[in-house]
Structure 1
Amino acid sequence: MKILLVDGTLLGRKTGAILEQVEQYIKELDEGLEVSQLHLADFEHQFVDGRPFDQYNDDMKKLVKTIEEADGYILATPIFQGSIPGVLKNTFDFLHPKALRYKPVSIVANGGTYQHHLVVENQLKPILDYFRALVTPNYVYTHGDHFDSENKIIDENVHERLREMARVFVKYCELSKDLPKETIDQH
């Protein structure tokens, strides 16, 4: 299975640091999973504006293809102004409605206040429900206090929650193997 760890922002390093840790935990649990990272910052983004898909730039085509070809996802996002970054929402808007169907997804988020964890519940989960993704019930929310000055996770409780999330995610991967997946024709 191809597992894509998606860093859903253009700036900052905390979400990337979380993904690096999650990648380690997933590999410890199942070496057979093909895990790779995708950083939205590596692409030249365009806004979804209703034009035919073939009129978007090559980066957008590559981004969508990479996401749609994966079998499972760990989504990492910062919380800005009480919301997910626009670039992450724009990426979702590019995807075919069946692109994530019956594929496992776990969520990690980082915010400036402890209350921003509700963005996961109020924004990300409804988007993923629309796609009919298999969202694991245990997302991990982090705060700036959980990191040192070099963005290394220093809170042992966060490590425990990431390990548990990885464990549940790997089980969801096993469960999803026999579910029907749709082949998405290019938009």
Structure 2
Amino acid sequence: MKILLIDGTIIGSKTGAILDQVKVYIEQLNSELDLEIMKLADFQHQFVDGRPLGEYNDDMRLLVRKFEEADGYVLATPIFQGSIPGVLKNAFDLLHPRTMRYKPVSIVANGGTFQHHLVIENQLKPILNYFRCLVTPNYVYTTSSHFGEGNVIIDEDVHDRLRELARVFVQYAEMSTHLSKVTIDKH
């Protein structure tokens, strides 16, 4: 199974640090999963405006292809101004509604205040529900206080929650293999 670990921002490094740790925990549970970290910062983005996919640049088409080829996702996002980054929403806007259908998704996020975890519930989960993803019931939200020098996660409770997230994600990934996959019409 191909699992895409998505760093959903173009600036900062905390979400990447969380993804790196989740990757380690997933590998410990199931070394047969093919894990790839994809950083949105590595792509030349264009605003999604409804035109056919073929009219976007190579990076935007590659972004879609990576989403389509993946069998599951771990999504990492910072919370900016009480919302997900525009670049992440822009990426979602480019995807066909069936791209992520019946595929497992786990969420990790980082924000400046404890209250911003509600962005996951009120913005991100509805988007993923629209795609009909298998969203794991647990997510991990962190703040700057959970990190030490070099953006190393220093909070043991966060590590415990990331281990549990990885465990549940692996179970969802295994469960998803028994669901019929929907053929996606090319844009």
Name the TM tier (shorter chain).
Answer: over 0.9
Q: CA deviation at 1:151?
A: 0.2
Where does residue 160 of structure 2 map in the other structure?
160
Identity value in percent: 71
TM-score of the pair, normalised by structure 1 = 0.99
Q: Using the alignment, how far apart are the partners of 2:58 and 2:24 within structure 1?
A: 31
**Unpaired segments of 5 or more residues in structure 1?**
none
Write out per-residue CA displacement over residues 116-145 of structure 1, whole angstroms, 9 at most, x where no aligned residue: 000000000000000000000000000000
Letter in 2 for 1:144: S
Where does residue 58 of structure 1 map in the other structure?
58
Write out per-residue CA displacement over residues 72-106 of structure 1, whole angstroms, 9 at most, x where no aligned residue: 00000000000000000000000000001000000
SS in 2 for 1:141: strand
Letter in 2 for 1:118: L
Where does residue 133 of structure 1 map in the other structure?
133
SS in 2 for 1:142: strand
1:40-119 matches, cutoff 5 A: 40-119=40-119
Write out per-residue CA displacement over residues 14-72 of structure 1, whole angstroms, 9 at most, x where no aligned residue: 00000000000000000110001000000000011121211100000000000111000
Q: CA deviation at 1:181?
A: 1.2
Letter in 2 for 1:167: R
**Unpaired segments of 5 or more residues in structure 2?**
none
Aligned-pair Cα RMSD in Å? 0.6
Count matched residues.
187
Q: Using the alignment, how far apart are the partners of 1:155 and 1:50 within structure 2?
A: 43
Displacement over 2 Å in runs of 4+ = none
Letter in 2 for 1:55: E
Letter in 2 for 1:84: I
Letter in 2 for 1:160: D
SS in 2 for 1:150: helix
